Amino acid sequence: MVLKTSTLRPFALSLKEYLSLALETLIEESRAHAAYWFVHPEKTEYWDTLNLSISSKPFHSIGHTTSLSLVEFSSLEKHLLNIHEVCLLEEVTLKLWKIYSVSTLLIIPIESCEERLATIVMSDISTEQNLDTLKKKMSLFIRQMQLTLRSLHSEALAFIDDLTGLHNARAFHILMEENLKRSQKLGTCFSLLMIDIDDLKKINDQYGHLCGNTVIRETAQLMRKSLRINDHVCRYGGDEFAIILENSNSSMAQDIVQRLRCTIEDKSFHLRASRSSNIAVSIGHSTFPNHARTIEGLIQIADEAMYFNKTQKRNINLPYSVKT
């Protein structure tokens, strides 16, 4: 069994494409009713290092996805991690697990370097197939999966900032290109925020660069927690961040700017011993297509707005005139 190939983007987003291709291949080869991909972030650092928000629910599915109820999914999850080799579950076992809507489940564990990365579950395998032959095919498929996932993981790390765990500047430009193409195609908008931590040099000079790094890292965590799952927070360089807000117009971006500023200003950063400090940030934003229709234009306008606000010596979002 050979997995169909596709041009994959060289960081974490390509994993979704890979999962889809994997399930499509399995459905075709096994003639199953449906296929589900479970991930297990509580058991591995693999997904965490890619800064992916993945729940233990099915990350991806294909085929007749309604064949298992939510209750059955929940029951199935409790047992998956106890299975370490390809096996076919039939009605007797399924009834013990309180699963009644399917006649068979093929369980395919994906493990690598003693880590359980994921589990593929396939329902109602065709009875015409020889199970031993199918298992041999699966063993080759699993080996390919392990190698590919590890390879994707290694490539993805090149697009992640070591200090904050955010996407780095290289990933930022890829994400901007994707959002621009999608918005051009669908006629939608998106916004860009450029954010700079004010007076970080003073913290570095007074408390040292380790404390400065703590401020950068905790600011990154605050921003990530404050935004929607589909928004992209990137470390643009030094103490500067870039945030891509999908499907956000200028008014929505302005509201997020105010909320982010308040969230960060209210945070007390522990620096050294009993010393703590509050910080401020300067933020500028631009929106496609209102302010610019190119990536370079959007970055320039948001960057200029950010520095304009910084020069005002007070951390409020003053009116900024942009050319449309």
One digit per residue, the tens of pLDDT, for the chain of length 324 reads: 433 333 324 444 466 677 778 888 888 777 778 888 887 766 666 666 665 555 545 556 777 666 778 888 888 888 888 888 888 888 899 999 999 988 888 888 888 777 787 888 888 876 666 777 777 777 777 788 778 777 777 777 778 888 998 889 988 998 999 899 999 999 999 999 999 999 899 888 888 898 999 999 999 999 988 998 789 999 999 999 999 999 999 999 999 999 999 999 998 888 776 778 888 999 999 999 999 999 999 999 999 999 998 887 554 444 433 333
Query: How many domains in the chain?
Result: 2
Domain boundary at 124, 157, 190, which?
157
* Inside any domain, residue 115: yes
Distance CA 286, CA 303 (A): 9
DSSP label at residue 127: T
Q: Judge if 217 and 289 occupy the same domain.
A: yes
Distance CA 78, CA 97 (A): 9
Q: Judge if 100 and 121 occupy the same domain.
A: yes
Listed in order, strand segments (DSSP E) in the chain are: 34-39, 58-63, 87-89, 105-112, 115-123, 190-197, 232-237, 240-246, 269-272, 275-277, 281-288
Q: Judge if 98 and 205 occupy the same domain.
A: no
What pLDDT, on a 0 to 100 scale, did the predictor assign at position 44? 67
Domain boundary at 157, 187, 216, which?
157
Q: Which domain range does residue 30 map to? A: 14-157
Query: DSSP string covering 126-186, please?
Result: -TTS-HHHHHHHHHHHHHHHHHHHHHHHHHHHTTB-TTT-SB-HHHHHHHHHHHHHHHHHH
Judge contact between 309 and 197, C-beta under 8 A: no
Q: Judge if 146 and 207 occupy the same domain.
A: no
Half-sphere exposure of 149 (CA within 13 A, CB side): 22
* Inside any domain, residue 319: no
Q: Judge if 280 and 192 occupy the same domain.
A: yes
Q: Would you call the peptide bond into 319 cis, given omega within 30 degrees of 0 as the criterion?
A: no
What pLDDT, on a 0 to 100 scale, did the predictor assign at position 294? 95
Q: What is the CATH number of the domain that holds 216?
A: 3.30.70.270
Q: Judge if 128 and 258 occupy the same domain.
A: no
* Inside any domain, residue 204: yes
Q: Judge if 108 and 208 occupy the same domain.
A: no
What pLDDT, on a 0 to 100 scale, did the predictor assign at position 10? 41
Q: What is the CATH number of the domain that holds 62?
A: 3.30.450.40
Active site residue 198: no
Q: Judge if 258 and 302 occupy the same domain.
A: yes
Q: Judge if 97 and 186 occupy the same domain.
A: no
* Inside any domain, residue 320: no
Tokens found for residue 225: 């927690």
Q: Judge if 298 and 209 occupy the same domain.
A: yes
Cα-Cα-Cα-Cα torsion 185, 188, 191, 192, nearest 10 degrees, comes to 0
The catalytic position among 161, 231, 239, 303 is: 239
Distance CA 292, CA 296 (A): 9
Determine the 3-state secondary structure of 117 from DSSP: strand
Half-sphere exposure of 5 (CA within 13 A, CB side): 4
What pLDDT, on a 0 to 100 scale, did the predictor assign at position 177? 92
Distance CA 155, CA 160 (A): 10
